Amino acid sequence: MSLLAKFQAVAEVRRSLGEVDPTKVVIERLHSPTLGVINGVATVLAGTNNYLGLTFDAAGVAAGRQAIQDAGTGTTGSRMANGTYAGHVALEAEIADFYGYPHAVVFSTGYAANLGTLAALLGPEDAVLLDADAHASLYDGCRLCQAQVYVFRHNDSSSLDARLTRLGERAANALVVVEGLYSVLGDQAPLAEIAEVKSRRGALLLVDEAHSLGVAGEQGRGVVEAAGILDQVDFVVGTFSKSLGTMGGFCTSRHEELALFTYASRPYMFTASPSPATVECTRSALRALRNRPELKAQLWRNARQLHQGLTQLGLQVGEAPSPVMAVRLADRTEALSAWRKLLEEGVYVNLMLPPAAPSGGSLLRMSVSAAHKPQEIEQIVAAMGKVVAKTDAYLRSTGK
């Protein structure tokens, strides 16, 4: 078989999308964190993960501009070579201080943070207990380190307990990997229960807070803070590309061994470091997160408004409000059609098709921003009511 023959299957998937290709959406212009132009139409952006709306923050823009003037456009090297600048060290210290931990390590992307952390922690003789709905980067990190992977039922601490029990003494060489807030359906992990199980069985716990940094917890430190387990979780990983509106990722830990990850993590050692502008924009956004609690408060007001509006339409988007909400459709073709019609109505959401959507089916996923205006939330609700609420595909997906 030709090396390129595998792309025949990929081409067939592309053909099945017809004229609609959600992977090729181009935002032609941006007017604000929540408003852009797509296909020439002014469009409310309801699928960007810009939770705190900081992408146009004046202080962040100024910090990035100054960094380019002072330190140039890029580092041109890895952290192990010539790529560590004073800004990287300062950002790591600020993240560690934010969580109250002794150390933090900054990576070039959130994806690299997950790969790099897991690669440093795990080897072929170790076991990793992975939530079934964990992000692709967590699965990929486990494959990279060749650890023995055991998947437990999503958000099910009893399933985790059973798998750790079967490991016996090997549980001491096991890492439990979960997310705080899951990125597709917006549900939160029962972290207090999971932490109790891992402690009782002698394992370690890693929590990916990519979608809950700045979103959950009194100080915005994520679900680990909201669950009261900052002193029990072993490693927190996250990204700067959601609430902080920049690019990059991090790992922070209460364990001193994190300081040695820079000698053991290949994704850290062999990737160019984040640019000076990215670092300074991130530092500015982290200051905004810490000093402007009104951003998180506004995010949750918007989440409640959207949840209430969609619920009143009869759409099932989870029992509790969340910055992430999704509507399930039974039919792939009609989901593609609904996504396209929402764009025509001036609303951009994320389309997720099998196998990406959890538990099968197709999803229209929305994410809320603190920057959304009430009338933009109303426009999202109105468009969902017009395009989705009464469709046969949605009614079939709910058994109505």
pLDDT reading at 302 higher than 90: yes
pLDDT in tens, 75-122: 999 999 999 999 999 999 999 999 999 999 999 999 999 999 999 999
pLDDT reading at 72 higher than 80: yes
Dist CA 108 CA 328 (whole Å): 33
Would you state the structure tokens that stand for residue 51, as one six-digit string?
């939770």
Q: CATH: 3.10.20.30, 2.60.40.1220, 3.40.640.10, 3.40.50.300. Which one for 75-274?
A: 3.40.640.10
**Cis omega (within 30 of 0) on the bond before 355?**
yes
Would you state the structure tokens that stand for residue 198, as one six-digit string?
């891992």
The CA R_g of the chain, rounded to the nearest whole Å, is 21
The H or E element spanning position 208 is strand 204-208
pLDDT reading at 396 higher than 60: no
pLDDT reading at 71 higher than 70: yes
Model pTM? Answer: 0.94
User: What does the pLDDT average to over 9-13?
Assistant: 86
User: What does the pLDDT average to over 48-59?
Assistant: 98
Report angle CA 212, 134, 360 to the nearest 5 degrees. Answer: 115
How many residues are present in the chain? Answer: 400
Q: Do the bridges between strand 174-179 and strand 204-208 make them parallel or antiparallel, or are there none, so unpaired?
A: parallel
Which amino acid, 330?
A
Question: Which pLDDT does position 334 carry in this prediction?
Answer: 85
Residue carrying the six token digits 């996504």:
339
pLDDT in tens, 190-218: 999 999 999 999 999 999 999 999 999 99
**Per-residue pLDDT band at 400 (split at 50, 70, 90):** low
Answer yes or no: are the C-beta atoms of 79 and 269 closer than 8 Å. Answer: yes
pLDDT in tens, 328-383: 887 888 889 999 999 999 999 999 987 777 766 789 999 999 999 999 999 999 99
**Would 7-56+293-398 and 75-274 be classified into the same CATH topology?**
no
Which CATH number is 7-56+293-398 given?
3.90.1150.10
Domain chopping of the chain, boundaries? 7-56+293-398, 75-274
Question: Which pLDDT does position 23 carry in this prediction?
Answer: 84
Question: Which pLDDT does position 395 carry in this prediction?
Answer: 55
Closest CA relative to residue 216, chosen from 307, 106, 114, 300: 300
Question: Which pLDDT does position 316 carry in this prediction?
Answer: 86
pLDDT reading at 293 higher than 70: yes
b/e code 227-236 from CB counts within 10 Å (16+ = b): bebbebbbbb
Answer yes or no: are the C-beta atoms of 209 and 220 closer than 8 Å. Answer: no
Answer yes or no: are the C-beta atoms of 105 and 262 closer than 8 Å. Answer: yes
User: What does the pLDDT average to over 147-158?
Assistant: 96
Dist CA 178 CA 189 (whole Å): 7
